[in-house]
Structure 1
């Protein structure tokens, strides 16, 4: 049937009741069933009788009139999630515009820019995760949607950081940013997976998950982060090569590294240096991701990659959805830095 052909995520927005909701103050499934007919109803010799069925109380009638399908409530929460995702895109464009309008920057200013963006995107990601949830009965309560939106925010964060690489003036700035990023990943992330940290979050009522569920979400975050890092860096390297040497060079002065409008007016930046140092940064990220996966496997006995692939096998729709999200987010940078001027015909 059509209902059986829908995925779990699609059924969230087509069913009227929370999954697993047995008792409800509103009109439940058992109340909507047709009452059983009595045998006397079909006996022509039986005396005429009117079944004395009590009328529903007025309070129940009023409640039925005010009844709102849970699928609609979930949909409204989902719309709020989409609004937050669009807000992240707008804020990313704002951050990038402010950074480009105030060039050049020293290392301290670059770090402040990057990590203020990191804090902003993590706050929006956390709010979205709270809305989507993962269990039945929570606002939306969809693990696959949480997976996809986690990828969206990871890619959004990485995309705008990659665009920053084209305006770093020295190898020292690349090294400093990568040192901070790798240190945070290798040291901080395993600490946040510990049972002590989880107990602290539970004590502060920030997280109500069991430790096993919390650790699973942490491993999922690592898997998605690695996916976002590799996808965004591969796209960035391809973009700067195509836009620097391609036919659209004039429309993208950001990657032209010359004196064109929006380009490198003062000659502070270099294409070859940006390309090679970005490749070195990518190699460092791959090594850091491998190290943290080994740490998680050694300290907690769980595989990060295995967790991610299990999710993809359990929810096959994650694969095409992730592909669409990657294309959507990675093209945002191209639209954000393009400079088009329409010339009047001579």
Structure 2
């Protein structure tokens, strides 16, 4: 693959979608990050052009262009520029200034000024925190996947994939829980809560799907899927129970039981959505790329990683896993409906009817994170 084709087609389109997605995040927060004199389109074009220029410099001056993590870091830095400009704009508009002048005593005891910060400014600071946290997760995931791709699991040790899967699960779910708490209780935005949950779920599943390339035996596939299926069918119904709800109340949960059930149902719906989207993309891309003319430029299709027999094994195993996931999803939905009288599909339709603007943002999040799945497969060492 020519470097310039990679830069403008692969990375250029990847960065464009990322910038567009970030702009929609700001839109959900009801804040424009771009200068009024330039407008949104020209501002995004300027940032996109800047990333292309830096990518070109990397190609001519360093060997960093051969590292996927370096490109993800470049996107990470590019996406922070809108946040930096928005922060400067908020400061200039004095949204963080005190509502009235301070007395000498208040200036002397600065703790008295803490509660004088406008709530809108505090919400914006929390928004910045979740923004930084979400982008950091993507960089961390890329570095984690790169490390695992290089070293790979031991085909004779069945528990190696479990270490990768569940260590990454703990990391993603921890970041998701922190972001979920901040957005729901500090920012108080249902739309942002929904999109962040989808974002973290997508990040988890793209690296989980790419793990399939590294599995070497049927036992490893069985162990991975059995653990995942049992987790879904036990975890989500148990979390919707009245007993679990009372436990969460003990730790400060202020929701009603009805809202608690809706919250668990939304989490399950998002998991189903990301499971199906990532698996469909995984199967389509791996087969299209494997049988295409450029299969040699994707690291997982190197003879060291994958041959025709291995490709058939991965494809068939993935289809079987998908069927099992669909079956587990159906069983869990029936448990929700029969035991708790809660319909996951009906609740999701009601949510989208109330907040139709979220649908467009969810589509951008899905496209952007799926691009990371494809981006992780490219063998950048082959760029010319």
Whether the TM-score (by the shorter chain) exceeds 0.5 is yes
Q: Structure 1: state its 5+ residue gaps.
A: 1-6, 15-25, 29-55
TM-aligned CA distance change 1:287 to 1:77, over 3 Å: same
Shift of 1:257: 4.7
> In the aligned structure 2, how far is the partner of 1:99 from the partner of 1:283?
26
1:278 equivalent to 2:318? Answer: yes
TM-aligned CA distance change 1:148 to 1:343, over 3 Å: closer
TM-score, normalised via structure 1 length: 0.76
Shift of 1:27: 5.5
Aligned residue number for residue 71 of structure 2: none
1:95 equivalent to 2:140? Answer: no
Shift of 1:172: 2.1
Q: Structure 2: state its 5+ residue gaps.
A: 1-25, 34-97
Aligned residue number for residue 337 of structure 2: 297
Contact kept? 2:153, 2:161, Cα under 8 Å:
no
Q: Specify which of 321, 327, 336 is matched with residue 367 of structure 2.
A: 327
Q: Specify which of 276, 288, 303 is matched with residue 258 of structure 1.
A: 303
> In the aligned structure 2, how far is the partner of 1:194 from the partner of 1:174?
31
Aligned residue number for residue 108 of structure 1: 159
1:314 equivalent to 2:359? Answer: no
> In the aligned structure 2, how far is the partner of 1:229 from the partner of 1:57?
54
Deviations 1:230-286 (A, max 9, x none): 0000111111012212233222121x1513xxx44xx79700010111011111111
Shift of 1:203: 1.4
> In the aligned structure 1, how far is the partner of 2:262 from the partner of 2:228?
22
Larger Rg: 1
Shift of 1:119: 1.1
Aligned residue number for residue 166 of structure 1: 213
> In the aligned structure 2, how far is the partner of 1:180 from the partner of 1:246?
34
Contact kept? 1:169, 1:269, Cα under 8 Å:
no
> In the aligned structure 1, how far is the partner of 2:234 from the partner of 2:285?
32
TM-aligned CA distance change 1:75 to 1:246, over 3 Å: farther
> In the aligned structure 2, how far is the partner of 1:225 from the partner of 1:57?
50
Contact kept? 1:92, 1:160, Cα under 8 Å:
yes
Q: Specify which of 274, 291, 296 is matched with residue 245 of structure 1.
A: 291
Aligned residue number for residue 224 of structure 2: 177
TM-aligned CA distance change 1:57 to 1:171, over 3 Å: closer
TM-aligned CA distance change 1:343 to 1:79, over 3 Å: closer
**Higher helix proportion (structure 1 or 2):** 2
> In the aligned structure 1, how far is the partner of 2:173 from the partner of 2:200?
8
Aligned residue number for residue 183 of structure 2: 132
Aligned residue number for residue 94 of structure 2: none
TM-aligned CA distance change 1:250 to 1:8, over 3 Å: closer
Deviations 1:317-337 (A, max 9, x none): 111111000011111122223
Moved more, 290-299 or 85-94: 85-94
Instruction: Give the number of equivalent residue pairs.
Output: 289
Aligned residue number for residue 223 of structure 1: 269
Pick 1 or 2: higher relative contact order, CA cutoff 8 A, min separation 6.
2
Shift of 1:67: 5.6
> In the aligned structure 1, how far is the partner of 2:129 from the partner of 2:227?
33
